[in-house]
Structure 1
Amino acid sequence: MAEIEVLTEYGNVIAKYEGFETVYKELDGGMILSNDGTVYVEQPEQEPDVDQIRTAKLAEVSSRCESAIFAGVDVELTDGSVEHISLKEKDQINLFGKQSQLAAGATQLEYHEDGKLCKYYSAEDMTKIIEAAMKFVSYHTTYCNSMNAWIKGAQTAEEIEAIQYGAQIPDKYKSKVLKDYEAAMGA
């Protein structure tokens, strides 16, 4: 039966490991032993393949879309003032819940601009806020979906890596909905 002895720098045996033939890999302050004679061989780093790059780009674009949505939208109210409304998931849920208050006939609804105290908004202003929020979320979601089609259609790593959120998407990857949004915005 094979045995490996661990020695001090002076040659004294401090440990014996039976059933092992080789040191598989040395580590800082230790080692991994092998009982079949194998030895660790460092593998050169491999470049990620196109599918890995595509998967990473899809995740990046999704994250940027979410960040853009969560950052929120500016809404011009009936008095001409502009308020910034964030659109994190809880904000979206809260705003969409305001629709049922409007449908029930509420004439003033409580809400808050980012970082400010809650206040009352008229039904008209709350409708503007909700419409702006829904349009903003829908636009970014639609844009992201078309961007995903572009990423999936790209053939090389270089093409995929060059795609950035906010870029003009080639027409062949744009959905009809995105084209309609862009036409409405004058883009």
Structure 2
Amino acid sequence: MEKIKVKGKLYDIRSIQTIEQHVLQIIFACTPPTKWNGDIVLYTAGDIECAVLTGWNTVYRDEGQTVYLSDDGSVYQTPDPDTGGEILPPEPYVPTLEELQAAKKREISQACETAIYSGVDVKLSDGSTEHFALTEHDQLNLFGKQVQLAAGTTELEYHADGQPCRYYNAADMQLIISAAMQHVSYHTTYCNAVNMWISGTQSTEEIQQIYYGADVPEQYQSDVPKAYISSMKEGVSDVDESQATEQISVPV
């Protein structure tokens, strides 16, 4: 179900439509707000912000859960049958291409962040496999471990996801850091390529075909995402790190 935010509060709506150039119809699934002086933020059914409507501050007509707003200060007047006055049939509100592109980029960014934070499985030197989450806090911790390794530390305290802290030898810690960097760099470069794809779309239909994990058309891939995507599909991790991001960082 779509939502709108008015004066900082979210409301579920059944539809939002224009019925005239300066008249907007909103059908609520709940009790409508009582004050309208401010922007109306529109969210998709997936809770992604897709548009900000400004200037709709006048209640044109109030029918309970159906509210009509105007952006020119006008209010509803009962049509005069002698003059043939009538209300035009409703037309659905259609976000612009730019609004849809911005909403899709936010969706992709959120999916990328979730994929990064979920972490990575790492096979250690003894043959066991442990999972390591990669939230921002975890990434900062790994920065610190990288510094400790560079200083020659041979036993480093760290913990797998949901496990108690223990000591890892230098070889295992390097495996963890390398896998984390590979994981973050892959998702960062992939997200960037998808955003380039979104920017190049020319229609709503093209945007609707894009999702996180989709194959990015080659024209929107630079050498870096091509190398990462190829390596991930082949199940290897030998991408030249000189081509990759050398920091563990979450895309904005």
TM-score bracket, normalised by the shorter chain, equals 0.7 to 0.9
3-state SS, counterpart of residue 145 of structure 1:
helix
| Equivalent position of 1:65 in the other structure | 112
* Letter aligned with residue 172 of structure 1: Q
Residue-by-residue CA offset, 1:19-67 (whole Å, 9 max, x unaligned)? xxxx964475xxxxxxxx9414897541112111111000000000000
Q: 1:103 to 1:25 in 2, by over 3 A?
A: same
| Equivalent position of 1:132 in the other structure | 179
Residue-by-residue CA offset, 1:115-153 (whole Å, 9 max, x unaligned)? 110000010000000000011000000000000000111
| Runs of 5+ consecutive residues of structure 1 not aligned to the other structure | 1-22, 29-36
| Equivalent position of 1:158 in the other structure | 205
| Equivalent position of 2:36 in the other structure | none
- Checking the alignment, whether the CA contact within 8 Å between 1:53 and 1:161 is kept in structure 2 is no
CA RMSD of aligned residues (A): 2.1
Matches within 5 A, 1:94-113: 94-113=141-160
| Equivalent position of 2:164 in the other structure | 117
* Letter aligned with residue 75 of structure 1: V
Aligned length: 157
Which of the two has higher C-alpha Rg? 1
After TM superposition, give the deviation of residue 182 of structure 1 in Å. 2.6
| Equivalent position of 1:15 in the other structure | none
3-state SS, counterpart of residue 120 of structure 1:
strand
Matches within 5 A, 1:59-98: 59-98=106-145
Matches within 5 A, 1:27-66: 38-40=74-76, 44-66=91-113
Indicate the larger mover: 41-50 or 153-162. Answer: 41-50
TM-score, normalised by the number of residues in structure 1: 0.78
| Equivalent position of 2:190 in the other structure | 143
TM-score, normalised by the number of residues in structure 2: 0.58
Percentage of matched positions with identical amino acids: 54
The structure where helix makes up a greater share of residues is 1
